[in-house]
Amino acid sequence: MEIYGETLSSRLFLGTAQYPSPAILQEAIAASGAALVTVSMRREGIHGSGAGFWNLLRDTGVRILPNTAGCHSAREAVTTAHMAREVFGTPWIKLEVIGHADTLQPDVFGLVEAAKILSDDGFKVFPYTTDDLVVGERLQAAGCEVLMPWGAPIGSGRGLANPEGLRAMRAHFPELPLVVDAGIGRPSDAAAAMELGLDAVLLNTAVAKAGDPVGMARAMALAVEAGHLGHRADPMERRDMAVPSTPVLGLAELT
C-alpha cells in the first residue's frame, strides 16, 4: 500500500507498549512483518532512560511512527509532534488529541485544528479519529492523506463497534487510505476490517497482552492478509435462503 507517496510492505501496523519484555517485543515485531511501529513520544526518547528502547526499535529495521498519545489539546499535541520530529528524525506523526478520559474518544475539534497546523508545517499526519464522515472531510481538507478511524475504544478488544460506519467511510473516501486504529482484539476482528475494504490495521494491546504475543502477532498478520485478499476476490453476497450447490434440474429420477 502507498501512503504519502511511500510504499509500505505490510498492511499491519503495530504498537510497542505493554509487552512483557523487550525481547518479546522484538520477536512480535518480526513475527508480524509490520510495515511500521508506533512509539509514544511521552514515553520514550533517544537519550536517558529511553535510549535502550530506541536502540531496540532501530535494530528491528522497521519504520517508526511516533505518536502524540496522552495529549488532550491541540496545542499539547502540536508541541509533542515537534519534539517527536526532532527526536526521531521523521515528519510522519500519528496524531492523537484525546477528548474523553474514559473512552479515549478523540477530540475531533482539537484534532482538525492540530492536523491543519502540523500539515502546514510539513508533517505527514496520521490522525486517530472517529468514523464521522464530516470530520474525515475536515481532516482531508486540513492536509491529511490518510485517516485512522477507531474500531472501538483503545485497549477494549471489542472489535468493530460500528462496521456500517466504517463501510460508509470506505464508500465516501474511495481513494484515501483508511487504517482501523484501536479496538481490535482477535484475528477475526482484523480480518473483518480488511474485508470491509479498509487498507490496513493498527493494533497494540491485542498482541502485547495475549498469552503468546509472538503467536498472536503472526495470527494478526495472517488475518490482515486473508481479509485483504478476501475483499479483493469480490466475495459473494449474503442470502436469506439456501441455494443448492448442485441444481435440481438434470438430476436422475429413481422409480
Angle (CA) 81-85-88 rounded to 5° is: 125
User: Would you say 129 is a known binding-site residue?
Assistant: no
Q: Is-contact 46 18, C-beta < 8 A?
A: no
* List 94, 116, 124, 209, catalytic entry: 94
* Spatial distance between the Cα atoms of 220 and 224, rounded to a whole number of angstroms: 6
* Spatial distance between the Cα atoms of 4 and 145, rounded to a whole number of angstroms: 6
User: Would you say 183 is a known binding-site residue?
Assistant: yes
User: Would you say 227 is a known binding-site residue?
Assistant: no
User: Would you say 162 is a known binding-site residue?
Assistant: no
User: Would you say 159 is a known binding-site residue?
Assistant: no
Note if 94 is an active site residue: yes
Amino acid in the structure at residue 155 = G
- Short-list 128, 135, 133, CA closest to 154: 128
CA distances from 34 to 9, 110, 194 (A): 8, 29, 15
Binding residue ranges for 1-deoxy-D-xylulose 5-phosphate: 155, 182-183, 204-205
Supply the residues annotated as catalytic: 94
